[in-house]
Amino acid sequence: MSTESEVAPLVPREGWHVMHLFYHIDHTNWSMLSDEEQRNAKTKLTELIQEIRSQPDTHLLTFAIATPKADLGFMLLTPDLQVANAYEKQLTLSLGPDILNAAYSYLSQTESSEYTTTREQYAADTLIGEKGLAEGSEEYEAALKEFDDRMAHYLQHRLYPVLPAWPVICFYPMSKRRLGADNWYSLDFETRRQLMGGHARTGRAYSGRILQLITGSTGLDEYEWGVTLLAKDTIDI
């Protein structure tokens, strides 16, 4: 039986919630702490990070921010929005009150893409249309099986990503244009799907150098998507 202090989980049917959190460090308030208080605060933050990372289906990236836009950043992925909200509050206060001040934040959710090529589209357009394979042939079935396996891996990454500890991270929110003639949604779905397919092919050229995670945020924050890029070298970003 639930008690009044318990909060019902808020877990989506598929995917995880994602928070990008950026903070300024108030160096004036920090300098007013004694050496022991600073050590204890750092220990508390370290222990909190370890606690969050130990939770099932939960990931937390930590990073420093280049330029004065912010000093410290976190990227939190976890299924339950209630848990994400609680961890955000703990991270904000982890070094003590008024030490970490929010510079920017963004809430989104991992999701599949409506423009993903379906099994039927791949069979008709690529296997039969481009490669001229006969439906039901051994080569056709092998290629279709390879497509199924590749798409299962792709969908798993989109919804439940495991992010590598690469040294470079970039994040930006975005929305499709809706201005006059430059209106993405005035295009028919098939045209949009083909354009997104070309975009995906360009992205595959960076495989192994950039890991991209697109998260949806319509109704959650001020843009339609969040884009997170992880890389080993800033030139690839």
Residues catalogued as catalytic: 172
The residue to which tokens 């030490």 are assigned: 99
Contact 109, 220 (CB under 8 A): yes
d(CA 137, CA 149): 18
CA dist list (Å): 225 to 12, 23, 112, 151, 158:
17, 21, 12, 21, 13
Contact 70, 174 (CB under 8 A): no
Choose among 172, 157, 173, 159: nearest CA to 211: 157
Extract the tokens encoding 72. 């410290």
Helices (runs of H) and strands (runs of E) counted in the chain:
6, 9
Task: Give the amino acid at 10.
Answer: L
Q: What are phi and psi of 162, to 5 degrees?
A: -115, 110
Question: Residue 204 class from Cβ within 10 Å (0-12 exposed, 13-18 middle, 19+ buried)?
Answer: exposed
3 state DSSP class of 206? coil
Extract the tokens encoding 156. 């798993």
What sign does the CA torsion over 150, 156, 162, 167 have? positive
Name beta bridge partners: 72.
Answer: 23, 64
